[in-house]
Amino acid sequence: MRYKTLKLLTILTSTALLPACDPSFQSTSDQCAQNEDISVIIPAPSLAVTNGADEYELYLQDIFVALEPQTADSLSTDEQAALTSVKTIINDFLDYEENAGTVNASNNILDFLESLIATTDPEKEIEAFAIAKRQIATGINEDNDFCSYSTRNIVINDGSDKANPIAFAEWSINYSPFTQIVQQSVLISEIQDDLDSSEARQNLPFVGFYQAEADQFKAVGYTQPILRQAIMNGADLTSNFVIDDGRDNKLGQIAYEQIDSFCDPDQSSFDPGISNTFDPSDFAVCGNGENVRPVAKSQCDGSEAGEKNETNRIRSNTFDLGENLTGFKRLRVELDYENNETRFYTSDYNEATFDSDGTTVIKDPTGCEKQAILDELAEQTPDTAVSLTIIEDPGFDVITTTDADGDEVIQEPAPLFTYDGLVVPARQ
């Protein structure tokens, strides 16, 4: 609106002159960032959060409802097994007490911390969180500058006399006067220094995020988001679980992924498909019974002196959804709240590419194999830039192509199966 723009320009012009007149002047941005150095110690003898006990909404509250079929016997044996497996995966990362779509409680550190940030219970309220939220609310009301608050000084302990730390957290919340959006993020780690490392922050055990409209922000209580996301990484970094829940598009998603890894326990954090800077020949071979991934390129099997040797060193990490649904690398479940439809998508690879012959498909190629393909392509077409040809999975990926007229064509993936889920009234 033009009036709003003129008002904002007037405010900015006026505030630009104030510091010269008043040395103690603080801008809206300065006020929002106050108290960031306050130390927050949270005793947590229990991480349980009861559903409905406060305004806070659990991450999977609506998703668990939509996961449940409208008719108990509407699923086949394989489909019911897949649903049961999904619930098991969820509870490996976020322990939920649930029965037939009714969520009673959670027992995880992400819901626990975010519920404290949002609580209206004066017995549970953390003063530093309350102060920061009031500062953000003031910044929204002033509406003349960016307003941000962030702290990494959060320690969660076991509530014992020794106050043994169980996690360290970073909480950030900010408001943009241009987008009229409030964003909040929570990062949680068992190792405090990981919060200071850009590399380690990519693999933290828990990351939570939301976006909300500024006029819906509550200085006290739970702010209803328009978008809410969470990422959980397994301890050995070979698996991850993702939540993406939107009220704007009335679509919820949960996704699970397993990634190949080196069998050598000392190298378990290395992703074979990314790095090509280390030599797997130095790694221990896989033990008996390991699901070993065959080497796809001779340049990587150690058959020639000086070449990298990945033979019997890479574990193929997969998961099953039932007796007849096995060997998957990726899973995505979409909860279509508007149409009450639940859709399961799966894939037996995370990424795939054509070999240099343009025909052979290599699934989840290692860094060594990718480089071998590129070298062979470069030999075929000297002085021409080369690249890998990525193969998307029509059973999992949304595939975008161009037709003869140059128009974009979007191919939706074919679900493994679908069914009618329970209605979530709040999402209709």
Residue by residue, pLDDT tens for the chain (428 residues) are 333 333 333 333 333 333 444 545 578 888 899 989 999 999 999 999 999 989 999 999 999 999 999 998 899 999 999 999 999 999 999 999 999 899 999 999 999 999 999 999 999 999 999 999 999 999 999 988 999 999 999 999 999 999 999 999 999 999 999 999 999 999 999 999 999 998 899 999 999 999 999 999 999 999 999 999 999 999 989 999 999 999 988 999 999 999 999 999 888 778 898 877 788 888 999 999 899 999 999 999 999 877 899 999 999 999 999 999 999 999 999 999 999 999 999 999 999 999 999 999 999 999 999 999 999 999 999 989 999 999 999 999 999 988 888 899 999 999 999 999 999 998 98
* 125 three-state secondary structure: coil
Q: Where are the beta strands (DSSP E) in 197-282?
A: 206-213, 227-233, 239-246, 251-258, 261-262
Please give the structure tokens belonging to residue 34.
Answer: 């106050």
**Distances from the Cα of 376 to the Cα of 190, 279, 308, 382, 389, angstroms:** 44, 20, 16, 10, 13
- Comparing CA positions, the residue from 233, 225, 217, 277 lying closest to residue 249 is 225
Residue 267's pLDDT is 83
C-alpha 126/C-alpha 156 separation (Å) is: 12
Give yes or no for a contact between 158 and 44, defined as CB atoms under 8 angstroms apart.
Answer: yes
Q: What whole-number distance in Å separates Cα of residue 163 and Cα of residue 12? A: 47
Per-residue confidence (pLDDT) for residue 24, from 0 to 100: 52
CA distances from 95 to 62, 98, 189 (A): 15, 9, 17
Domain ranges of the chain: 27-47+109-221
Give the other-Cβ count within 10 Å of 271's Cβ. Answer: 15
Q: CA 181, CA 174: separation in Å to the nearest integer?
A: 8
DSSP helix/strand/coil, 222: coil
